[in-house]
Amino acid sequence: MKKALAIAGVTCAALLMGTTTATAQAESPADAPAAAPQAAAAGCYLAVYTPWKQNMSSSGRNDHARGKYATVNNCSGWYNTALLQYHRWHGWTRIAGTEWVGNRSMSYLQWKCQGKGTFTYRTKGSVRGGSPARVGWATSAERRFSC
């Protein structure tokens, strides 16, 4: 049921953006990020992935909430953004310091979440540009974990 709703949401988003197709991958195991719907803007795409928790220390504990994004096709000259968010009592909040703007092909977003508690996380991104100007958005699947 959850998968069917996600695919229906992707199809709806694709129609709103004026595209005829959209892709989403099924959720993967908790230790690997899953690809989310792609934000599309006439040729340049931004894929965002489901966040995960990772210990960034070779010894001891240094937990980080991590997210991944990747540009697809030639995104040179496009305005792309990606960031991590977590859910609070008042709604989704961006995590300061995790924002990315540019056209790199792939990279990671991260936030030292150790000791901050249990939250639901997601990765969000957008693509703007082209002629005529187009805008696309993508939001990853959500994942809840404690740091």
For the stretch 125-146, pLDDT in tens is 998 887 777 788 899 999 999 9
Q: Could you give the 3-state DSSP secondary structure of residue 2? A: helix
For residue 83, what are its two tokens?
């960031």
| pLDDT at position 21 | 28
Q: With contact defined as beta carbons under 8 Å apart, do 121 and 142 qualify?
A: yes
Predicted TM-score of the model (pTM): 0.69
Work out the pLDDT band at 12, boundaries 50, 70, 90. Answer: very low
Please indicate whether residue 17 or residue 82 has the higher confidence score (pLDDT).
Answer: 82
How many angstroms separate the CA atoms of 124 and 138, rounded?
Answer: 6
Give backbone dihedrals phi and psi of 33, rounded to 5 degrees, phi first: -70, 145
* Of 21 and 5, the one with more pLDDT: 5
Q: What's the pLDDT at 11? A: 35
